[in-house]
Amino acid sequence: MLLNLTINGEQRSDNVDPRMLLVHYIRDIANLTGTHVGCETSICGACTVLINGSAVKSCTILAVQADGTKITTIEGMAEGDRLHPLQEGFWEEHGLQCGYCTPGMIMTAADLLARNSNPTEAEIREALEGNLCRCTGYQHIVKAIQFAAAKMRTSKAA
């Protein structure tokens, strides 16, 4: 069936099988492979993208359910060569090792920072309930998100 949506600002129209999951649409039809699959049970969060600004697990949504929405994936975070503050934060603070969970982490953090511009360490850890990382032990991820929060607050104030 016909699916119309906007992904990272680009309008698309594709014919998809209704049973196709959104994550497979993003990866295999839209060819945006930065969104990953890490589990089958909506736990790991590697597939997190934004739908109309809200973080969601794209493995637990049918592509057809996203009809008419605006989707942002990790590929849509930077503006040209200018990294998003969260991307900068993960780089500055060594918030990633193997990098597989990173896109999902960044998308969830984007939702968190949209709601709470100055989260505490405890709030960040709680917000990451739906994202697993096996490499970092999370501490540098927390710092990365704090870095981004500070930077976004400053640029907002300016």
Partner 1 sequence: MFPASFEYHRVSSVKDALALLSQFGDEAKILAGGHSLLPMMKLRLAQPAHLVDIGAVHELAQIQEQGGRILIGGLATHHSVETSSIVKAKLPILAECAALIGDIQVRNRGTIGGSLAHADPAADYPAAALALEAEMTLENPGGKRKVKAADFFLDLLTTAVQAGEILTQVSFAALGAGTGGVYLKHRHPASGFATVGVAAVVTLKGTNFDKVRVGITGLGAKAFRASSVEKALAGKASDAIAAAASHAADGVDATSDTYASGEFRAELARVYTRRALEQAVARVKA
Partner 2 sequence: MAVVPKFVGERIKRREDPRLITGTGQYVDDVRLPGMLTALVLRSPYAHAKINSIKLDAAQKVPGVVAVLCGDDLKDKVGSVPCVAPAEHVPYHPVLAQGKVRFVGEGVAVAVASDAYIAQDALDQIEVDYDPLEAVTDPEQALEAGAPILHDEFKTNSVTLASVPNPAVDEAMNKADKVIRFRIHNQRLAPVPMEPRGVVARWEPGYKQLTIWSSTQIPHLMRSQVADMLKLGENKIHVIAPEVGGGFGAKLNVYAEEALISHLAITLKRPVKWIERRRENLSGTTHGRDQIVYLEIAANKDGEVLALKGRFICDMGAYLQLLTPAIPGFSGLMMTGCYKIPALAFDQQMVFTNKMATDAYRGAGRPEAAFIAERTMEAVASEFNLDPADVRRKNFIAKASFPAPTAGGLVYDSGDYELTLNKALDQIDYNKTRAEQAAAAKEGRYIGIGIASYVEICGIGPSALLPPKLKGGGWESCTVRIEPDGKVTVLTGVSPHGQGQETTFAQIVADELGIDIDDVTVVHGDTALVPYGIGTFGSRGTTVGGPALMMSVGKLQAKMKRIASTMMEVPPEQLEFRNRTIAMASDASKSIALQTVIEAAYGYKTVIEGVEPGLDATSFYEPSACTFPFGTHVAVVEVDSQTGQVKFLRYVAVDDCGKVISPLLVEGQIQGGIAQGIAQALYEEVKYDEGGQLLSATLMDYAVPKANMLPHYELLSTVTPSPVNSLGVKGVGEAGTIGATPCAYNAVLDALKRLGIRDLDMPLKPETIWRAIRDAKKA
Return residues touching partner 2 (CB under 8 A). 17, 19-20, 24, 27-28, 31-41, 43-44, 46, 73-75, 77-78, 83, 87, 90-92, 94, 96-103, 106, 121-122, 124-126, 128-129, 131-142
Angle of helix 102-115 relative to helix 139-157, nearest 10 degrees? 40
Helices (H) then strands (E): counts for the chain: 5, 5
Among positions 5, 32, 46, 56, the unique one binding partner 1 when judged by CB under 8 A: 56
Task: Please list every residue from 14 through 53 that binds partner 1, using CB under 8 A.
Answer: 17-19, 21, 37, 40-43, 45, 48, 51
SS3 call for 89: helix
Please state whether beta strands 70-72 and 2-7 pair in parallel, antiparallel, or not at all (unpaired). Answer: parallel
Residues 81-120 vs partner 1: string with x where CB under 8 A? Answer: ---------------------------x--xx--------
Burial class (CB in 10 A: 0-12, 13-18, 19+), 26: buried
Cα 61 from chain centroid (whole Å): 15
Question: Counting contacts by CB under 8 A, is residue 145 touching partner 1?
Answer: no
Question: Counting contacts by CB under 8 A, is residue 129 touching partner 1?
Answer: yes
- Nearest distance in Å: CB 62, partner 2: 12
